[in-house]
């Protein structure tokens, strides 16, 4: 176990050691870590690993400094990484709906001139900026402010469609995004993709989507077919990441709380840059690359 102690080792030994360490790290800190880092004798074990907890857990690293433990981990290609929330959808038909989604993407990739796949979603934003990190004077100067003075918090809503193959974005916005606006957006998309033989509308289970008036609109637009996503599965709807980009670049820490019209114009300008499609956007939302959705969109 020279690898654990930080010594030299061959590739086979290194991989065996790495597998052992990774497996232990997955189990989370235990009694050894508790004894090393708990504030009192009765304290519980920590929920996350620290260098002190790792050193206490692996006997071969007991004599190392914390920087030595860090270097030993790096030699095993182990580092500090941001965690992500475990994704889970309660939909009992998750696998069936996911398979349907992937089949629609493959169909669009195989016949892009005849079949279009669009990811749909809605979002809202207010005239008040959300706080975010920003550059400014170092402490003890005041922190950057998300200025909300002199304005009321108004809400604006929009619905958008992202072309899974081209990155083209279409939107419609209004103070209220109800069944009339959703129906109008469907007609807008029918006109936009008039040359296509079939258009898949990949959308979530928002109640408006299944309102009788909205369903009647779809019946009058036979080329448009709704494809229902599993419930509570935003990772299957890449346009969610477009909204995140919009929030990061335009809505967070903006200086337009006193000019509601200018803020809405800036939001529109951000989205309009994708009106003709964008490979950069496809990369950003995960429709180009090695992910499951990207692979389904790949022409074979």
Find residue 119's DSSP bridge partners. 162, 202
Residues 103, 41 share a domain: no
Residues 255, 201 share a domain: yes
State how far the Cα of 295 lies from the Cα of 288, in Å rounded to an integer. Answer: 8
Q: Is residue 83 part of a domain?
A: no
Q: What range does the domain containing 8 cover?
A: 2-75
Q: Which residue has the higher pLDDT, 214 or 81?
A: 214
Q: Which two tokens stand for residue 187?
A: 């007609």
pLDDT for 4: 54
Q: With contact defined as beta carbons under 8 Å apart, do 186 and 200 qualify?
A: no
Q: Is residue 210 part of a domain?
A: yes
Residues 264, 116 share a domain: yes
Q: What is the CATH number of the domain that holds 289?
A: 3.30.420.10
The stretch 151-155 carries a mean pLDDT of 86
Judged by average pLDDT, the poorest of 4-8, 140-144, 232-236 is 4-8
Please state the pTM of the whole predicted model. Answer: 0.79
Rounded percentage of the chain residues whose pLDDT exceeds 70: 97
Residues 172, 31 share a domain: no
Name the residue among 249, 277, 276, 283 with its Cα closest to residue 263: 249
Handedness of CA 202, 208, 159, 150 (dihedral sign): negative
Q: Is residue 195 part of a domain?
A: yes
Confidence bin at 1 (pLDDT 50/70/90): very low
Residues 240, 157 share a domain: yes
> Could you give the residue ranges of the DSSP H alpha helices within 210-278?
212-219, 239-246, 260-272
pLDDT for 9: 58
Torsion of CA 290, 293, 295, 299, to 10 degrees: -140
Residues 100, 43 share a domain: no
Confidence bin at 183 (pLDDT 50/70/90): very high
Asked whether the predicted pLDDT for residue 83 surpasses 90, the reply is: no
Residues 130, 102 share a domain: yes
Q: Is residue 89 part of a domain?
A: no
State how far the Cα of 237 lies from the Cα of 162, in Å rounded to an integer. Answer: 9
Q: What is the pLDDT of residues 85-140, one digit of tens each?
A: 778 899 999 999 999 999 999 999 999 999 999 999 999 999 999 999 888 888 78
Q: What is the pLDDT of residues 21-48, one digit of tens each?
A: 999 999 999 999 999 999 998 999 999 9
Name the residue among 117, 256, 103, 96 with its Cα closest to residue 189: 117
Residues 54, 116 share a domain: no
Asked whether the predicted pLDDT for residue 278 surpasses 80, the reply is: yes
Structural domain count, the chain: 2
The stretch 62-86 carries a mean pLDDT of 90
Last residue of a domain, which of 25, 45, 75? 75
Residues 264, 118 share a domain: yes
Residues 160, 67 share a domain: no
Q: Is residue 236 part of a domain?
A: yes
185: Cα separation from own chain's centroid? 24
Residues 182, 67 share a domain: no
Q: Is residue 82 part of a domain?
A: no
Q: Is residue 13 part of a domain?
A: yes
Handedness of CA 40, 44, 47, 52 (dihedral sign): positive
Residues 282, 186 share a domain: yes
Mean pLDDT value across the chain: 92
Q: What is the pLDDT of residues 189-241, one digit of tens each?
A: 999 999 999 999 999 999 999 999 999 999 999 999 999 999 999 999 999 99
Q: Is residue 259 part of a domain?
A: yes
Question: DSSP character for 133?
Answer: -
State how far the Cα of 32 lies from the Cα of 50, in Å rounded to an integer. Answer: 12
pLDDT for 105: 98
Confidence bin at 8 (pLDDT 50/70/90): low
SS3 104: helix
| Phi, psi dihedral angles at 57 (to 5 degrees) | -85, -35
């Amino acid at each position: 176990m020279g690898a654990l102690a930080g010594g030299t080792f061959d590739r086979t030994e290194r991989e065996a050691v790495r597998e052992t360490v990774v497996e232990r790290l997955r189990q989370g800190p235990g009694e050894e870590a508790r004894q090393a880092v708990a504030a009192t004798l009765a304290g519980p074990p920590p929920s996350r690993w620290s260098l002190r907890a790792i050193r206490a857990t692996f006997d071969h690293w007991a004599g190392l400094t914390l920087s030595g433990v860090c270097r030993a981990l790096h030699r095993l290609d182990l580092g500090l990484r941001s965690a992500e929330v475990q994704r889970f959808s309660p939909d009992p038909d998750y696998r069936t709906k996911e398979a349907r989604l992937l089949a629609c993407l493959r169909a669009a990739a195989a016949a892009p001139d005849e079949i279009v796949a669009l990811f749909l979603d809605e979002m809202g934003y207010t005239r008040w900026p959300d706080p975010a990190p920003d550059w400014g004077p170092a402490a003890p100067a005041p922190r950057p402010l998300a200025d909300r003075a002199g304005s009321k918090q108004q809400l604006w809503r929009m619905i958008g469609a992202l072309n899974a193959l081209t990155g083209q974005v279409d939107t419609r916005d209004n103070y209220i995004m109800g069944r009339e606006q959703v129906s109008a957006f469907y007609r807008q998309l029918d006109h936009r993709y008039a040359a296509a033989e079939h258009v898949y509308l990949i959308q979530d289970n928002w109640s408006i989507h299944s309102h009788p008036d909205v369903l009647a609109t779809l019946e009058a637009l036979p080329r448009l077919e709704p494809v229902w996503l599993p419930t509570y599965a935003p990772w299957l709807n890449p346009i969610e990441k477009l909204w995140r980009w919009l929030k990061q670049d335009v809505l967070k820490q903006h200086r337009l709380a006193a000019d509601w019209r200018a803020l809405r114009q800036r939001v529109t300008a951000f989205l309009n840059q994708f009106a003709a499609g964008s490979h950069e956007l496809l990369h950003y939302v995960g429709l180009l690359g090695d992910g499951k959705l990207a692979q389904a969109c790949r022409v074979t």
